Structure 1
Amino acid sequence: MQELTTVKTVHEEGSWLFTVRNQYGEQEEFILVPCDDSAEQRSTSSRPVADDGVAAWVNRCTHEAQRFDTGRGVAIRDGQLICPRHGSMFNACSGDCDNGDAAGTTLPSIDITVSGDGTVYLTDDELTFVHEGGVDEDDGPDSTSHISF
């Protein structure tokens, strides 16, 4: 188990972006989002929903891999994550999308556990927590232009 953050922090900040490394050494971004699930969501969801106040999803839309959080937090309205590119909305607790270009898809999740004191832990054996925030993109040139005059 690797400690990530707290449920309280996720709810106060609205989301929590972090980077993991998979078994192949590749880094990938995930987000923790508030999940205030209800009995109705449990009965209508096609998969289990989080029951500890947070859910963990990959930080990209299933339609065109658009990032939900680019470093400023995830846009969430009425318990739905909103894709900033096409507006598809994903249920924060189940990851299911029933509208827009991503309709019929579900966000990939990872295993997390919430302890009795509200601490969120990464419990996915195939992933290693790297750091809070997104994948470091500082490895390229300082300028996006390689043209000289």
Structure 2
Amino acid sequence: MSTETQITTVEDVPADTTVLVTVRDIDSGEKREAILTELDDGIAGWLNYCQHFTHIALDKGSGAPMRNGEIICANHGAYFESESGLCTHGPCEGAYLEALDVTTENGAVYLSDDDYEFVSEGGIEGDDTDRTSTSNVEF
């Protein structure tokens, strides 16, 4: 585990929503947001961007909505499987979320993706990008 960075604990990843973290792309230096979600056998990591319009965040800072183990884009109504990232319903059906490799050991969640480094818990500080949409999808 010496080359991996602990980003949170398994206990801090709720079953019914997501945890938001910030990572940095090693090659470009660009900060990106990512989400963690609980699975039956561990934790999954995904970049925090809907595949319909990739400037739209799934988790806007208070956890992404989830239903029956799927992450929901509140703007467009897309559903993404927590296990695979596959969009099963909505305007980007068949697309996949971009994975962020994470591992768990002894109750801790580690960033194990060679393309990213951990920056902080929560969203990108000072980012005032509007990540909403004018979609009229409602739940």
In structure 2, stretches of 5+ residues that fail to align are 130-139
- The two structures, once aligned, show a CA RMSD in angstroms of 1.8
Once residues 13 and 105 of structure 1 are traced to their aligned partners in structure 2, the CA distance between those partners, rounded to angstroms, is 22
Corresponding residue SS for 2:52? coil
Greater radius of gyration (CA) = 1
Q: 1:35 to 1:12 in 2, by over 3 A?
A: closer
Once residues 79 and 17 of structure 2 are traced to their aligned partners in structure 1, the CA distance between those partners, rounded to angstroms, is 16
Which of 49, 54, 60 is the equivalent residue of 2:49? 60
Q: 1:138 to 1:99 in 2, by over 3 A?
A: closer
| Misfit runs of 4+, over 2 Å | 11-14, 137-140
Which residue of structure 2 aligns with residue 128 of structure 1? 117
Corresponding residue SS for 1:8? helix
- Which is further off, 5-14 or 77-86? 5-14
Once residues 114 and 108 of structure 1 are traced to their aligned partners in structure 2, the CA distance between those partners, rounded to angstroms, is 19
Letter in 2 for 1:132: E
Which residue of structure 2 aligns with residue 28 of structure 1? 32
Q: 1:138 to 1:110 in 2, by over 3 A?
A: closer
**Structure 1 residue 93: Cα displacement:** 1.0
Corresponding residue SS for 1:3? strand
- Determine if the alignment matches structure 1 residue 71 to structure 2 residue 61: yes
Any conservation in 1 of the 2:15–2:38 contact (CA below 8 Å)? no
For residues 27-71 of structure 1, the C-alpha deviation after alignment (integer angstroms, 9 at most, x for no partner) is: 0000001122xxxxxxxxxxxxxx42x110010100112101111
Give the aligned length: 124
Corresponding residue SS for 1:102? coil
- Which is further off, 85-94 or 129-138? 129-138
TM-score under structure 1 normalisation?
0.77
Corresponding residue SS for 1:136? coil
- Determine if the alignment matches structure 1 residue 3 to structure 2 residue 3: no
More strand by share: 2
Corresponding residue SS for 1:101? coil
Corresponding residue SS for 2:14? helix
Once residues 139 and 107 of structure 1 are traced to their aligned partners in structure 2, the CA distance between those partners, rounded to angstroms, is 23
Which residue of structure 2 aligns with residue 119 of structure 1? 108
Once residues 16 and 88 of structure 2 are traced to their aligned partners in structure 1, the CA distance between those partners, rounded to angstroms, is 26
In structure 1, stretches of 5+ residues that fail to align are 37-50, 141-149
